Amino acid sequence: MKAPPTQITTQEQAVLALAKSRPLLRARDVADQQLPTVILSRLVAAGRLERVARGIYCLPGRSSSEHRSLAEVSLRVGRGVVCLLSALRVHEIGTQAPFEVWLAIPPNMPSPRLDQPALRIVRMSGAALAEGIRQVQIDGVEVPVFDAEKTVADCFKFRNKIGLDVALEALQDGWRQNKLSMDKLWHYATIDRVANIMRPYMESLTA
């Protein structure tokens, strides 16, 4: 069988070296190195790379966390912040196990169109979108996630979407696990304009 041209082999090695240096490899990362992205398809066909999602690849058999989908979304939706049920899962608060990735984006941003994973889009603006963001390392990717207190306040703000029972569970379980600061809860409740709604439930925690 005729050996592939040396140039192609060298380029394949360069792409595989990139894949080894990061848990998730974007087609954009390959293009940034002046390498043809068609090599990705060749490596997938040869079994040397796996296609995780559209435009995202990894080495075969590379271990991943339960939050891999959040890392994938973060790579593909640059201005999104993981929120609500997905953020609760990251903080290990409550019992929700969403099959969708809950993502906050600006009101004027077009809704992302991803084949997978499934998204649940929430529109936020101003301080409600800008404050309380933590960068969480997930499979080597810096993923923006709202902190625990902001997430709980958001649960009350969007209680019509997720249910008041879910918001109450998040508040009570987060407090029981010492993952919530009362001062920060009040701060975000004010930003989200749900202070009056949250007040009796928060006061009951310290009664």
Q: Which two tokens stand for residue 34?
A: 């002046």
Alpha-helical regions (H) of the chain:
6-20, 27-32, 38-45, 68-76, 84-91, 127-130, 148-157, 159-162, 164-176, 182-191, 195-205
Whose CA is closest to 80, among 116, 45, 107? 107
pLDDT of residue 175: 97
Q: Which residues of the chain have pLDDT under 50?
A: 1-3, 5-7
Cβ within 8 Å of residue 95, ≥6 positions away: 169, 173
**Could you tell me the pTM of the whole model?**
0.74
Pairing of β 133-138 and β 119-123: unpaired
pLDDT of residue 202: 95
Q: How far apart are the first and last CA of the chain?
A: 79
